[in-house]
Structures are given as C-alpha cells and as structure tokens.
Amino acid sequence: MDVLVVGAGDVGRWFADLADAPVAFADVDESRAEAAAAAHDGRARAVPLDTEESFGVVAVAVPMGAAVAAVEAHAASAEQAVVDFTGEMVAPLTAMAEHAPARERVSFHPLFAPEHAPGRVAVSESAPGPATGHVREWLEAAGNDLVDVGASEHDDAMVTIQGRAHAAVLAFALAAEDVPDELATPVYEDLAALADRVTGGNARVYADIQAAFGGADDVAAAARRLADADREAFEEVYEDAGR
C-alpha cells in the first residue's frame, strides 16, 4: 500500500517519516516536494501536484484553509482511503464524504508540533477500514497515543484548546514589557515560556487556527470585563474564572 502525501511541510514530512509504506510527495511548491522526497533516503519520491497516478492512501497535510480544496483535488487518486492531518475535522471529513464516498475516511490531528513528537493524536473515524487501520498502527508504533473523538466535539474543543489559548498567550506577549529576570514570579515565568513557545512557531499556523476556530474576540471580551471591574466586581470575575 503506497501513500500520497499532499503537502510537503513539517506535518507532511512527519507523517511520511512514520509511514511504513512507499511515499510520494505532492506540493504546490514542486521544489519543496522534491526536497522532502530527497530527505527520506530513497524511500520517497516527488510527483506533480496534478498527478494522475493512484495510491492506496491519500494523506492531506496542508494548512487548514486549504484542506477542503486539497481533498477535492486529490480524493480521486485514492484507491483505499483518504485521511487528513490538517487540524480541523468537520470540513475535511465532509469533503471526503462528497468526493470519496466509497473510500475509507478518517481525520487525524496531531496535538503537537512535529518537533515535539510523539504525543497525542486526535482521531475521528467517518468510514474506517483496513487501510486507515494501518495508519493508526504507524502512528502508535511511533509512540503516539491516539484519542478517538467525534469531529464536531473536536472542533468545538479546539475553540478553547487552541483558539482562545493561543490568543490569550499572544495577548500577554503583546502587553508585556521587559523586566529584570531576578524579579520574575512563577506565574510570569510560566506565561513568558508559553509566549516564547508560541511566538517561536509559524505565524501562518496560528492565523489559520484563528480563522477556523476564533477565540481572540472571546479573550478580548474577558479582558475588558476584568478591566472594567471595580474591586467588588473583580472578586466576582475572579471566582468565575476559577469555576
């Protein structure tokens, strides 16, 4: 069973590394697909984005905003299964059902950046089967823990887990000023470390998350509630935050 990885970025390369099968990369940037293939020690090759070849599994690993279009464009190349590693689940699975109704269909979301692998991987199975079972086995063999979840439940949770969390950390980073290290408190050090981790990533990824799940408006409203509260109201807000 061979695999077409659509998207030769970090996530696509991460999945190709753990796939126990021949891999082909396709990417809007052909040179990136070629570089990804070359990095896999002869176990992978690059194919044109409009390839007419067929593959056992088509794995979509593109930014969230491009996921549906990528499924639409490449689902027909799948002989057995279409899967995605985009971070959103409802939209890609809906596109898979429309464009690959007779194929196995599963959405995977690594809950970590590839450089922090292994970790937890959320899994939503729309139409599982033997081929997607192999994908699960590859992920587990690489040390990942699989967490089965409904697609809507996943996307709803990501509003808080990613959208609001990232917005809160970025808001702190924007509001913070330089301070002497020797005056730092544990809470400040934890927030500063989170800010360094988030701002050391890829801005496009975080922009995609905000576009898909939102969160910044909710954080802004909460901050405004804090800012507008007098002492008595602040205590109520504080208690609400602890619930």
CATH of the domain at 24: 3.40.50.720
Would you say 126 and 96 are in contact if contact means Cβ atoms under 8 Å apart?
A: yes
pLDDT of residue 7: 98
pLDDT of residue 228: 96
Question: Do 61 and 108 lie in a common domain?
Answer: yes
Place of tokens 């070359």: 38
What's the rounded Cα separation, in Å, for the pair 49 and 45?
12
| Per-residue pLDDT band at 148 (split at 50, 70, 90) | very high
Does residue 41 have a pLDDT over 80?
no
**Structure-token pair, residue 62:** 């593109």
Report the alpha-carbon angle 197-138-204, nearest 5.
30
Question: Do 131 and 13 lie in a common domain?
Answer: yes
- The residue from 149, 164, 196 where one domain ends is 149
| Structural domain containing residue 13 | 3-149
- The residue from 126, 149, 172 where one domain ends is 149
Question: Do 23 and 107 lie in a common domain?
Answer: yes
pLDDT of residue 42: 77
Question: Do 129 and 20 lie in a common domain?
Answer: yes
- The residue from 115, 149, 183 where one domain ends is 149
pLDDT of residue 10: 95
Number of structural domains (the chain) is: 2
Lowest-confidence pick of 98-107, 150-159, 225-234: 225-234
Question: Do 134 and 231 lie in a common domain?
Answer: no
pLDDT of residue 2: 96
Question: Do 17 and 52 lie in a common domain?
Answer: yes
Mean pLDDT of 52-76: 97
Does residue 43 have a pLDDT over 90?
no
Mean pLDDT of 16-24: 96
